[in-house]
């Protein structure tokens, strides 16, 4: 039986995910049943007629804070069919997402992603119901929805059968700690620059050796910090 991911997303803007679930890698994964993606709107669990999910912060200050009760009820609903799922809050204060963290997430079949908005979530909800905090990096966007899409897309493409050629996934940047090698396609010559001869040689070993070398060179040039980790602290980068 094929590996499947069972994912839940808690968001006050579930409509943002409608086109996301119908197109590209995620659309294919959802349509094939390899990824189950269910949306939970905290407004559906609010207890007032206005379906309020936020309020002014205690102590004053700008903006609004997402209230704990509707978020809690949304998590409880998502947990009913995902008892083993960890609750992951998408926030700039979380652990930075990289390929290593992504692989850790991929080892688990179930996840519940919470998308924050406004000034964030009531801290009491975070302390009691959130298991992990995940960040795309040291910057701020308007909400966790885009971050959730990034994580879901990255997880989905790790599933065999989602991408057309699974070998291409294994050769992606960061998959083995190095950046990807350069890619070329037709035409053979573009603006007086030809495709490297080795790629048209038909010599598969020579092509592999060239690509391996290019991965190291590209990483050394663009992300030398990765090279030290991938090749070891004693890697000779003088060549």
Convert the pLDDT of each residue in 109-157 to its tens digit: 999 999 999 999 999 999 999 999 999 999 999 999 999 999 999 999 9
Q: With pLDDT > 90 as the criterion, what percentage of the chain qualifies?
A: 79
Active site residue 57: no
The model's confidence at residue 161, banded by pLDDT at 50, 70 and 90, is confident
Catalytic one among 172, 180, 182, 211?
Answer: 172
Average pLDDT estimate for 8-17: 98
Asked whether residue 169 carries a pLDDT value surpassing 70, the answer given is no
Indicate the average pLDDT of the chain.
90
Asked whether residue 239 carries a pLDDT value surpassing 50, the answer given is no
Q: With pLDDT > 70 as the criterion, what percentage of the chain qualifies?
A: 90
Alpha carbon distance 115, 121 (integer Å)? 9
Catalytic one among 117, 122, 145, 157?
Answer: 157
N-term to C-term CA, the chain: 47
Nearest to 167 by CA among 211, 216, 106: 211
Vertex 146: Cα angle to 54 and 230 (nearest 5): 130
Nearest to 106 by CA among 3, 216, 10, 224: 3
Active site residue 157: yes
Nearest to 11 by CA among 21, 22, 25: 21
| pLDDT (0 to 100) of residue 175 | 57
Active site residue 160: no
Catalytic one among 42, 54, 92, 215?
Answer: 92
Q: Are 120 and 95 in contact (CB under 8 A)?
A: no
Average pLDDT estimate for 23-29: 96
Asked whether residue 47 carries a pLDDT value surpassing 70, the answer given is yes
Tokens representing 151 are 């994580």
The model's confidence at residue 235, banded by pLDDT at 50, 70 and 90, is very low
Active site residue 119: yes
């Amino acid at each position: 039986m094929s590996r499947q991911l069972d994912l839940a997303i808690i968001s006050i803007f579930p409509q943002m995910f409608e086109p996301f679930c119908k197109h590209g890698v995620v659309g294919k994964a959802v349509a094939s049943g390899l990824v189950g993606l269910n949306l939970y709107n905290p407004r559906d669990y609010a207890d007032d007629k206005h379906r309020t999910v936020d309020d002014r912060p205690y102590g004053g200050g700008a903006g609004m804070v997402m209230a704990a009760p509707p978020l809690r009820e949304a998590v409880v609903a998502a947990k009913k069919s995902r008892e083993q799922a960890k609750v992951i809050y998408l926030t700039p204060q979380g652990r930075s997402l990289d390929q290593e963290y992504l692989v850790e997430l991929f080892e688990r079949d179930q996840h519940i992603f919470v998308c924050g908005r406004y000034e964030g979530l009531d801290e009491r909800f975070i302390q009691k119901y959130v298991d992990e905090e995940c960040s795309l990096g040291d910057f701020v966007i308007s909400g966790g929805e885009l971050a959730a899409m990034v994580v879901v897309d990255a997880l989905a493409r790790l599933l065999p059968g989602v991408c057309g050629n699974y070998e291409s996934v294994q050769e992606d940047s960061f998959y083995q700690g190095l950046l990807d090698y350069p890619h070329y396609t037709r035409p053979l010559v573009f603006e007086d620059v030809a495709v490297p001869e080795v790629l048209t040689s038909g010599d598969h070993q020579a092509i592999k050796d060239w690509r391996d070398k290019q991965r190291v060179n590209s990483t050394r040039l663009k992300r030398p910090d990765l090279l030290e980790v991938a090749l070891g602290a004693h890697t000779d980068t003088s060549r």
